[in-house]
Amino acid sequence: MRILAVDFGRKRLGLALSDPTGTVAAPLPAIQRQGEAWWNELLELIQAQQVGEIVVGLPRNMDGSYGPAAAICRKFAHELAGRCGLKPYLLDERLTSKAASNTLREGGLSERQQRGKLDSVAASLLLQVYLQRRGTSPPGEKPAP
């Protein structure tokens, strides 16, 4: 069973997918959020990759509180559950974009070259955290947020 991570943004969805064993996270090309076509693209990906779990990054402020972006992500997760039948697990995404940017910069990419890649690398980092926590949870349980 594969696990999909989504870094929900205003312009695009950063995506990452686990291997079938749920051990390794790999970034996928981001989906541009234009019109309604992106929903179809996301749902087709979920079906084609036989995704069994979904993780959605939940933005939090550095003090742990939730702002307007968190409400938007919760709404997205709720609508995604209704469309695909899988209830997404919301996971704190604080600092994933910053870590992803640092990783890409260390790889020699300028800020301009990072566009489109950053969101999916952030989703990959988010998914790797989920997989690591999941690996330490009892079978059948999701990791603690």
- The Cα–Cα gap between 122 and 36 comes to 23
- The Cα–Cα gap between 90 and 20 comes to 21
Q: What is the pLDDT of residue 31?
A: 95
* Polymer length in residues for the chain: 145
Q: What is the pLDDT of residue 138?
A: 43
Give this prediction's pTM.
0.81
Q: Angle at CA 55, nearest 5°, toward 121 and 51?
A: 95
Contacts of 14 (CB under 8 A, 6+ apart): 6, 7, 27, 30, 118, 119, 120, 121, 122, 123
Domain encompassing residue 59: 2-135
**Domain CATH number, residue 74:** 3.30.420.140
Tell me, yes or no, whether 144 lies in a domain.
no
Q: What is the pLDDT of residue 62?
A: 73
Each residue's pLDDT expressed in tens, for the chain with a length of 145 residues: 899 999 998 898 999 999 999 999 999 999 999 888 999 999 999 999 999 999 999 988 778 788 898 999 999 999 999 999 999 999 987 655 555 555 545 656 556 555 666 678 889 889 998 998 887 554 444 554 5
Tell me, yes or no, whether 142 lies in a domain.
no
Tell me, yes or no, whether 98 lies in a domain.
yes
Q: What is the dihedral of CA 9, 50, 117, 42, to 10 degrees?
A: -40
Retrieve residue 36's tokens: 């309604």
Q: What is the pLDDT of residue 93?
A: 76
Structurally, the chain folds into a number of domains equal to: 1
Contacts of 41 (CB under 8 A, 6+ apart): 31
Q: What is the pLDDT of residue 108?
A: 60
Tell me, yes or no, whether 143 lies in a domain.
no
Tell me, yes or no, whether 111 lies in a domain.
yes
- The Cα–Cα gap between 112 and 3 comes to 29
